[in-house]
Chains A and B, each alone.
Chain A
């Protein structure tokens, strides 16, 4: 999940459809994962998180799925709305690391088609 030097992949979704944004993480010791949403001209905003002892967690219109076997994380947005247009970042954290630093993914730009 290195962000340096990578340009953002883009996902285009029809308004009303479900969106699935994927993220691969690299550190098998990571045990906490977060999704952030960054709207144009704003700072990243926390959406939802999940610990490694869970496979799935649901929020309001959002679901995060974690597959530790293949080190894959996904964010599902139900009934995508124009306000969901943003760049979505995943981040991972290792509680065994005393510094508790986040490792950021590259981000995915979500575009909503009317």
Chain B
């Protein structure tokens, strides 16, 4: 089984709809992240969470919200989807405690979201 899973893998929705993307991990990591990737571009951080009680905005948090329901679960919501939120969304996890202070991130397979 994959260590980091994302659901759904693909989603097509309409402008104004509320959408939730879910991420689950079995790695036991405290840190979880949501990234957005547009075609031909790199990764941009939306939100991140260092533990269940911690939520932080990334560089492009406007129009998004998150919920850290448990150590293993981190959800991303688009309250009112708009077409320029059409992108590939990745969840990632990390845990620097066991790696000498480094922050290697492990990624899920991604969710392809299309907003019409």
Contact = CB atoms under 8 A, between A and B. Distances in A.
B103 A6 contact: no
Interface in B70-116: 90, 92, 94, 96, 101-110
Interface stretch (A12-20, A38-46, A61-69, A76-84): A38-46
A45 B40 CA distance: 17
Given A3-B43, A4-B59, A107-B42, A46 B48 contact: no
Given A42-B109, A43-B109, A44-B107, A93 B102 contact: yes
B41 A7 contact: yes
B42 A104 contact: yes
A3 B42 contact: yes
A93 B40 CA distance: 23
Contacts of A105: 42
Interface residues of B, number: 24
Contacts of A89: 42-43
A101 interface: yes
Which of B96, B102, B110 counts the most A-chain CB atoms under 10 A from its CB? B102
B4 to A, nearest CB: 8
A73 interface: no
Nearest to B96: A100
A6 B37 CA distance: 12
Contacts of B105: 44, 46, 91, 102
Contacts of A4: 41-42, 44, 59
A3 B102 contact: no
Which of B43, B102, B106 counts the most A-chain CB atoms under 10 A from its CB? B43
A1 to B, nearest CB: 9
A11 interface: no
Interface string A69-101: 000000000000000000001010101000111
Interface of A: 3-8, 32, 34, 41-46, 49, 51, 89, 91, 93, 95, 99-102, 104-107
5 contacts: A43-B90, A43-B107, A43-B109, A104-B42, A107-B42
Across chains A and B, which 5 residue pairs bring their CB atoms closest together, nearest first? A3-B42, A43-B107, A100-B103, A95-B101, A107-B42
